[in-house]
Amino acid sequence: MNAATKAYAAEFVGTFWLVLGGCGSAVLAAAFPEVGIGLHGVSLAFGLTVLTMAYAIGHISGCHLNPAVSIGLWAGGRFEAGKLLPYIVSQVLGAVAAGGVLYLIASGKAGFDVTAGFASNGFGEHSPGGYSMMAALVCEVVMTAMFLIVILGATDKRAPAGFAPIAIGLCLTLIHLISIPVTNTSVNPARSTGVAVFAGGWALDQLWLFWIAPIAGAVLGALIYRCIGCEKDCARA
């Protein structure tokens, strides 16, 4: 297996873990009787999946685990355009595989109803807090933009070495603490797709927003960081 194939496989495995860990905590543990982990636990679970995988596969693939991150890194001058498609395909396949495993586990309990949401992202009547489509759009764009700024800053060669996974994982935790009530938090088209294909119906109908908004936000965040993070005066560069 050559280096490129290893990187694609790592993105598959990493995104699998992100969706299984993050969405799995939401589906299986968030409201578990008496000892449910709630919003705080789900937020932490998503952050921990990224933190653990960053240390596990960061040196293999860069640990993007997210089409928006890959596109944002490209926009920020940190990733080759030629690798975008295979990275995104690997991420989506990993997310769908995790959604399948989660479905097999969750459906083992009497009364399970995948149409209830299955940790899918939504707006309007499918937003946990009843937020509008515009609110969801703004939230996903801004949250993903800030995520990219943190990723680019934490992995900058001038940043303290070895701490990037911690900063990135905690950033994703914070993003979930803010935005779960709005959209159930995506900031990741693969994560949204991985569960939406099993939930079907409205989850698939609204999936377009959770591709467009995170990608737009990622590009915005990358452009912002290229201005504030460049070593030379941007106006003269």
93: nearest Cα among 9, 21, 26, 187 = 9
Render pLDDT for 192-227 as a digit per residue (tens, 0 to 9).
Answer: 999 999 999 999 999 999 999 999 999 999 999 999
Mean pLDDT of the chain: 94
pLDDT number for residue 234: 55
pLDDT number for residue 221: 98
Instruction: Please enumerate, as own/partner, the contacts of 123-128 that have beta carbons within 8 Å and a separation of 24 or more.
Output: 123/183, 123/206, 123/209, 126/202, 126/203, 126/206, 127/181, 127/182, 127/183, 127/184, 128/180, 128/181, 128/182, 128/183, 128/184
Average pLDDT estimate for 118-138? 97
